Amino acid sequence: MEHVNITTPAFIDLHSVSKHYRQHHAIDSLDLSINKGESLALIGHNGAGKTTLLKLILGLTLPDAGSIKVNGLVPSQTSDRKKIAFLPEIVSFPASMTGRELITFYARLKGCKQSECNRLLNLVGLTDAASRKVGTYSKGMRQRLGLAQTLLGKPDLILLDEPTSGLDPSLRKQFYNILEDCKSAGTTILISSHALSEIETKTDRIAILKQGRLVIHGTLDELRNAADLSVQIRVSTQSGQTSIIIDTLEPETSYRKYNDHCIEFDCHRDDKLRVLQNISKIPSGIVDIEILPPRLDDLYIHFAGEENDESLNPQLTNPRS
């Protein structure tokens, strides 16, 4: 029987995309695909090209070379933009309108019902403040109003530029819960962020940009495997007993002693079990052992740090290539 291979086309598909401003390459030969219902974090230094990439996907700016398709269409030629939502880094609304007036205004533009406005104001925790003028809102409240506006009309694609910069920790948690619900409903999400420790577990995949080029993209685990960085092992002992750990370490192992009962050292992933076995033979004095895999901050420095310019060759480092 003939095997028919049916592959679902990517929801966002960028092929050899370049964008330059005068001599400056803001985006340089970039290939990237994002599937429907997938979430991707876009990280990179200031000026790496994150916002430019979002603008290209939105069709707000045109590529100089390459092709971009969103849901099979060229973004700049799409007449129906209601299903694509964008939350910019700085949300600015007319100060003299109330939260409810504003969300109602945008709802009319998108053809949404008033009940949708009330639901979203409630979702972002602004029901009580909805009758206040936006000029009296805090930065975080404006950001939440922006999120409510973004979610109007249940978009298929949400692009967010530094979305949590004005939110306190509990609101950030709520914010990601809301996005998770959208994703479960099939929304594709792209988040540009500098908050690496926050974003590392919040998206399916992570893409690292450097000087307009895609250094690597993949899941956190794929990035960890590609980087092959050491894990950190942190051992807490009873007071004054860190030497029982130091004695088990190879002489060349450098360690960090934070106080008289906590020591931390790096260990290659392949040596982890052997090191833990050695520690487990210690009869007494150990209170706790933590194994800390490389964080996104470490991976980012590895792949995009100044010292690692050879990482700009994606063939070496891209687990999906």
26 or 179: whose CB is closer to ligand ATP? 26
Query: Judged by CB, which is closer to ligand ATP: 52, or 317?
Result: 52
Least Å distance, CB 45 to ligand ATP, is: 7
> Measured between alpha carbons, how far is 75 from 7 in angstroms, rounded to an integer?
22
Q: Using the minimum distance from each CB to ligand ATP, give the nearer residue, 20 or 269.
A: 20
User: Does 52 help bind ligand ATP (rule: CB under 6 A)?
Assistant: yes
Residue pair 164/158 in contact (Cβ under 8 Å)? The answer is no
The SS3 of residue 292 is strand
d(Cα 86, Cα 151) in Å, to the nearest integer? 9
Binding mask 161-200 for ligand ATP (x = CB under 6 A): ----------------------------------------
Minimum Å gap between C-beta 190 and ligand ATP is: 13
Any contact of residue 48 with ligand ATP (CB under 6 A)?
A: yes
Tokens of 79: 């007449």
Residue type, position 174, single letter = Q
Binding to ligand ATP by residue 47, rule CB under 6 A? yes
> Cβ closer to ligand ATP: 24 or 256?
24
Three-state secondary-structure class, residue 316: helix
CA R_g for the chain: 24
CB 126, CB 63: distance < 8 Å: no
Q: How far is the CB of 191 from ligand ATP (least distance, A)?
A: 12
* Closest separation in Å from C-beta 49 to ligand ATP: 4
The sheet carrying 231-237 orders its strands as 255-259, 262-267, 231-237, 286-292
Using the minimum distance from each CB to ligand ATP, give the nearer residue, 44 or 314.
Answer: 44
Q: How far is the CB of 48 from ligand ATP (least distance, A)?
A: 4
- Give the position of tokens 């190879």: 250
Strands 231-237 and 65-70, by their bridges, are unpaired
Nearer to ligand ATP, 121 or 207 (CB): 207
> Which string of x and - marks every residue 73-92 that binds ligand ATP (by CB under 6 A)?
--------------------
| Rounded Cα gap, residues 119 and 127, in angstroms | 9
Return the number of other C-beta atoms located less than 10 Å from residue 316's C-beta.
12
Per rule CB under 6 A, count of chain residues that contact ligand ATP: 11
- Name the residue with tokens 């004005």: 166
What is the pattern of x (binds ligand ATP, CB under 6 A) and - over residues 4-43? -----------------x--x-x-----------------
Q: CA 177, CA 174: separation in Å to the nearest integer? A: 5
Of these, 43, 44, 87, 267, which contacts ligand ATP (CB under 6 A)? 44
Instruction: Report in angstroms how near the CB of residue 193 gets to ligand ATP at its nearest.
Output: 9
The two three-digit tokens of residue 246, written as one number:
């130091």
In angstroms, give the least distance from the CB of 19 to ligand ATP.
8
- Going from the C-alpha of 239 to that of each of 255, 258, 311, 315, the distances in angstroms are 17, 12, 43, 49
Q: Is 46 in the site for ligand ATP (CB under 6 A)?
A: yes
Site of interaction with ligand ATP (CB under 6 A): 21, 24, 26, 44, 46-52
